[in-house]
C-alpha cells in the first residue's frame, strides 16, 4: 500500500497537484479501475446475433455432356410462419369452403322446413361449390326423401347425410395411397422410391415437392430432386431454394435441355448415392398441348430404363381454385400417364375445396396430400375424416 501511495504522490507532484496522496485515494482509484474492467467485460460478453447456416446439399449437374450452368445459390430466407398445429392450419385453410358453402346451407335451413324452394337453393349453392353434378344430385335426392320422412331435419342430421355421401365417393380409393409418401422407413426398400409430380402451370408442383422433400429429409431420408422444368431458369432456381432449405440434393441441367435427360440423370444419381427417394419436378403444361403431353410421357418412360418399376408414383397436382374445371385436366393427364394419385393444393384460397370429391369420384384415384398455404408446414397427408369435418 505504501508503495502505491508514494507512486500516487509522485504522480500528483508530476502533474503539479498540491494534494497529499492518502490510502483513501488509492482505494478510490482501484474502485474506479475495477468498475471500468467489469463494464468492459460485460460489454464484450453480451449475446451476439449469430447466423444460422443454411443446411444444404450440393447441387449437381445433369448429363455430363450438358454444359453446367454457373451455380448461383439464391439467398435462403427463413420463412417465419406462425406456430399453428396442422389441425388449425387445415381448419383455417378450409374455412372458406365451410363458410361459403355449408355455412350458407345451414343458415338457409335454420328454422325453415326443407321444401322444394329450399332444396333448389341448396342445389344452387352446391353447384357453386363444384362438387360435381352427380354428387349434388345425390345429396339433393337424399335430403328430399329424408325431409319427406321427418317433420324437421336437424342440422346435425343434415351434416351426417352430406358427410356420408361425400365419404362414400372417396373412401374406397384412399387405401391405395402408399405409406412411404408420408413416412420414411429405411428398411422397407432397397432402391429409391421414384415420385413424379405433374400438372398444369402454377398448380403448386414445385412448392409441393419442396414441402414433401422437407418432410422426408426431416425424417432422415436422403432425397434427390430432379429439376426437369428446363424451360425456365427461374423455375429451377425456385426449386433450388426449396432443396437447400430441405437439405435435398438437386440435379439440374442447362436451360432448354431435354427434360427426360434430367429425369434420367436424377434417378441415376439417386441410385448411385443409394438415396431413399427421387422426386421429379416437371414443367407445367396445358393438358391440351399434345406435344407437351408426349414429352412428359417420354420423361416418365425413361425412368423405367434404370428401374423397371419406376416411377412408383405419378401424381397430379390440382389447384382447388380451378374447381371442376380441373376435371378435364385430370382426365387428360390420367389418360397420358396412368396416374397413381392426386394432390390438392390451394384449398385455403378457394371455396371449391369440395371439388376434390367429384374428381376422385370420376377418376377413381386417391388423394395423398392436401395443401392449405405456401409455407413449408402447410401440406399434410389427406385424411378423409379430418377433411369432411372441416368442410361441412
Ligand X SMILES: Nc1nc2c(ncn2[C@@H]2O[C@H](COP(=O)(O)OP(=O)(O)OP(=O)(O)O)[C@@H](O)[C@H]2O)c(=O)[nH]1
Which helix (DSSP H) or strand (DSSP E) does residue 295 occupy?
A: helix 290-303
Number of residues that bind Mg ion (CB under 5 A): 3
Cβ 262 to ligand X shortest distance, Å:
14
Which helix (DSSP H) or strand (DSSP E) does residue 61 occupy?
A: strand 59-61
Nearer to Mg ion, 235 or 353 (CB): 235
Residue nearest to ligand X (CB): 284
Residues 263, 267, 272: CA angle, nearest 5 degrees: 150
The residue written with cell numbers 361425400 in the block is 166
Cβ 207 to Mg ion shortest distance, Å:
8
Q: Which of 363, 369, 372 is nearest to 391 (CA)?
A: 372
Residue 203 has, within 13 A of its CA and on its CB side, a CA count of: 30
Strand, coil or helix: 257: coil
Quick one: 56 exposed, middle or buried, by C-beta within 10 A (0-12, 13-18, 19+)? middle
Which helix (DSSP H) or strand (DSSP E) does residue 359 occupy?
A: helix 355-363
Residues 235, 241, 246: CA angle, nearest 5 degrees: 125
Site mask for ligand X (CB under 6 A), range 280-319, x = bound: ----x-----------------------------------
For ligand X, which stretch binds (CB under 6 A), given 53-61, 110-118, 127-135, 201-209? 201-209
Name residues contacting Mg ion, limited to 207-236 (CB under 5 A): 235
Task: Kindly give the residue spans of alpha helices, DSSP state H, lying in 94-232.
Answer: 95-97, 104-109, 116-128, 133-149, 155-174, 205-218
For ligand X, which stretch binds (CB under 6 A), given 36-44, 47-55, 144-152, 204-212? 204-212
204 binds ligand X (CB under 6 A): yes
352 binds ligand X (CB under 6 A): no
Cβ 353 to ligand X shortest distance, Å:
10
Q: Please identify which residue in 349, 362, 381, 389 interacts with ligand X, judged by CB under 6 A.
A: 349
How far is the C-alpha of 114 from the C-alpha of 120, rounded, in Å?
10
Cβ 375 to ligand X shortest distance, Å:
9
Site mask for Mg ion (CB under 5 A), range 167-206, x = bound: --------------------------------------xx
Question: 202 is in the binding site of which of ligand X, Mg ion, none (Cβ under 5 to 8 A by kind)?
Answer: ligand X
199 binds ligand X (CB under 6 A): yes
Cβ 374 to ligand X shortest distance, Å:
4
61 binds Mg ion (CB under 5 A): no
Say if residues 370 and 347 touch (Cβ distance below 8 Å): yes
Return the bridge partners of 198, or none. Answer: 316
How far is the C-alpha of 57 from the C-alpha of 66, rounded, in Å?
21
Name residues contacting ligand X, limited to 373-392 (CB under 6 A): 373-374, 378
329 binds ligand X (CB under 6 A): no
Residue 92 has, within 13 A of its CA and on its CB side, a CA count of: 11
Q: Please identify which residue in 372, 376, 384, 391 interacts with ligand X, judged by CB under 6 A.
A: 372
Binding site for ligand X (CB under 6 A): 199, 201-207, 229, 235, 284, 345-346, 348-349, 371-374, 378
Binding site for Mg ion (CB under 5 A): 205-206, 235
Amino acid at each position: 500500500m505504501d508503495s502505491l501511495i508514494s507512486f500516487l504522490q509522485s504522480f500528483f507532484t508530476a502533474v503539479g497537484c498540491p494534494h497529499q496522496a492518502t490510502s483513501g485515494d488509492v482505494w478510490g482509484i482501484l474502485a474506479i479501475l475495477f468498475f471500468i474492467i467489469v463494464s468492459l467485460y460485460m460489454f464484450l460478453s453480451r449475446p451476439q446475433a449469430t447466423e444460422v447456416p443454411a443446411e444444404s446439399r450440393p447441387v449437381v449437374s445433369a448429363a455430363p455432356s450438358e454444359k453446367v450452368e454457373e451455380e448461383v445459390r439464391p439467398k435462403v430466407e427463413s420463412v417465419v410462419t406462425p406456430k399453428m398445429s396442422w389441425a388449425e392450419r387445415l381448419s383455417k385453410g378450409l374455412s372458406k369452403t365451410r363458410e361459403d358453402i355449408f355455412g350458407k346451407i345451414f343458415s338457409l335451413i335454420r328454422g325453415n322446413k326443407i321444401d322444394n324452394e329450399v332444396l333448389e337453393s341448396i342445389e344452387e349453392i352446391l353447384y357453386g361449390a363444384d362438387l360435381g353434378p352427380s354428387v349434388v344430385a345425390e345429396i339433393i335426392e337424399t335430403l328430399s326423401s329424408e325431409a319427406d320422412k321427418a317433420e324437421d331435419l336437424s342440422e346435425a342430421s343434415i351434416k351426417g347425410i352430406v358427410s356420408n355421401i361425400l365419404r362414400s365417393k372417396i373412401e374406397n380409393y384412399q387405401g391405395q395411397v402408399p405409406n412411404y409418401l408420408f413416412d420414411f422407413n429405411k428398411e422397407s426398400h432397397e432402391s429409391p422410391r421414384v415420385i413424379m409430380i405433374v400438372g398444369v402451370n402454377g398448380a403448386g408442383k414445385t412448392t409441393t415437392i419442396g414441402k414433401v422433400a422437407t418432410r422426408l429429409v426431416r425424417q432422415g431420408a436422403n432425397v434427390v430432386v430432379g429439376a426437369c422444368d428446363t424451360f425456365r431458369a427461374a423455375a429451377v432456381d425456385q426449386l433450388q431454394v426449396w432443396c437447400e432449405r430441405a437439405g435435398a440434393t438437386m440435379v439440374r441441367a442447362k436451360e432448354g435441355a431435354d427434360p427426360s435427360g434430367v429425369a434420367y440423370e436424377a434417378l441415376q444419381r439417386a441410385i448411385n448415392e443409394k438415396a431413399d427417394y427421387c422426386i421429379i419436378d416437371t414443367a407445367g403444361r396445358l393438358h391440351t398441348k399434345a406435344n407437351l403431353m408426349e414429352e412428359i410421357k417420354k420423361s416418365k418412360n425413361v425412368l423405367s430404363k434404370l428401374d423397371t418399376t419406376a416411377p412408383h408414383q405419378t401424381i397430379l397436382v390440382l389447384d382447388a381454385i380451378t374447381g371442376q374445371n380441373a376435371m378435364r385436366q385430370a382426365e387428360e393427364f390420367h389418360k397420358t400417364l396412368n396416374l397413381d394419385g392426386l394432390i390438392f393444393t390451394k384449398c385455403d384460397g378457394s371455396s371449391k375445396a369440395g371439388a376434390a370429391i367429384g374428381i376422385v369420384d370420376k377418376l377413381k384415384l386417391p388423394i395423398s396430400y392436401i395443401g392449405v398455404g405456401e409455407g413449408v408446414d402447410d401440406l399434410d397427408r389427406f385424411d378423409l375424416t379430418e377433411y369432411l369435418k372441416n368442410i361441412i
